[in-house]
């Protein structure tokens, strides 16, 4: 295959790979200024990365941070070698593997595990809820392994996290609650907002696996 004589498209700006993200962030800042949106300085990197991942400026308004959330999650990720538990393999793949290795962070997704599938079929719970139960069984008794949940798809995972928390069975160190959709999504997010746990939540119906990964990465890139 000869690639020497491919056509060029004048309307497409030619940028090196390293320049594309920088240019994107410049354009986001310009549009935020045009919209007269001023971001909180501490939360700005996370909000910017969510906008970058989605091209959706609503994240400037709908991301909610618990008090001191950014400093807490940066300390957990940078110093405590946590486990990040996702509810999709897409989110798992999107989280920076190189930065996780650098800081001794483990990332896992149990959604496709045979025991989770079997437990879901027996109990009638969703796989997402059973995945939370599995995380609690594996990591809940080890205080040296703090757990960070990154939920971008399944509101039932958030519901189960709150149920275990209220029952005193399992308390994650941090919850990223950004499932996308229509059924029980808003209500499940409110359960986290009202829980007393530390969190970043995308209030409303928007979110997704790419947003969950973007939020985690926004903190990892600040370490």
Active-site residue list: 52
CA 167 to centroid of chain Cα atoms: 25
- Rounded distance between C-alpha atoms, residue 88 and residue 165, angstroms: 21
In angstroms, rounded to a whole number, what is the distance separating the alpha carbons of residues 99 and 220?
7
Distances from the Cα of 205 to the Cαs of 25, 53, 118, 178, in angstroms?
25, 16, 30, 8
* Residue 9 three-state SS: coil
C-alpha triplet 51, 65, 194: angle, nearest 5°? 130
Longest dimension (CA), the chain: 66
């Amino acid at each position: 295959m000869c690639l020497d004589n491919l056509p060029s498209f004048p309307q497409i700006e030619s940028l090196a790979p390293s320049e594309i993200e920088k240019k994107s962030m410049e354009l986001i800042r310009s549009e935020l200024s045009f919209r007269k949106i001023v971001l909180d300085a501490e939360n700005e990197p996370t909000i910017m990365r969510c906008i970058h991942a989605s091209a959706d400026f609503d994240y400037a308004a709908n991301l909610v941070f618990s008090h001191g959330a950014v400093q807490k999650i940066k300390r957990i990720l940078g110093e405590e070698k946590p486990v990040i538990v996702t509810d999709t393999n897409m989110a798992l793949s999107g989280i920076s593997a190189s930065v996780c290795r650098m800081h001794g962070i483990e990332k896992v997704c149990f959604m496709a595990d045979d025991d989770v599938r079997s437990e879901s079929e027996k109990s009638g719970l969703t796989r997402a809820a059973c995945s939370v139960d599995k995380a609690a069984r594996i990591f809940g008794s080890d205080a040296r392994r703090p757990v960070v949940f990154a939920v971008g798809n399944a509101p039932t995972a958030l519901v189960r996290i709150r149920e275990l928390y209220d029952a005193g069975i399992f308390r994650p160190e941090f919850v990223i609650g950004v499932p996308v959709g229509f059924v029980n999504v808003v209500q499940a997010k409110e359960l986290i907002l009202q829980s007393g746990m530390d969190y970043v939540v995308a209030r409303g119906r928007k979110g997704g696996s790419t947003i969950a990964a973007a939020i985690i990465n926004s903190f990892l890139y600040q370490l």
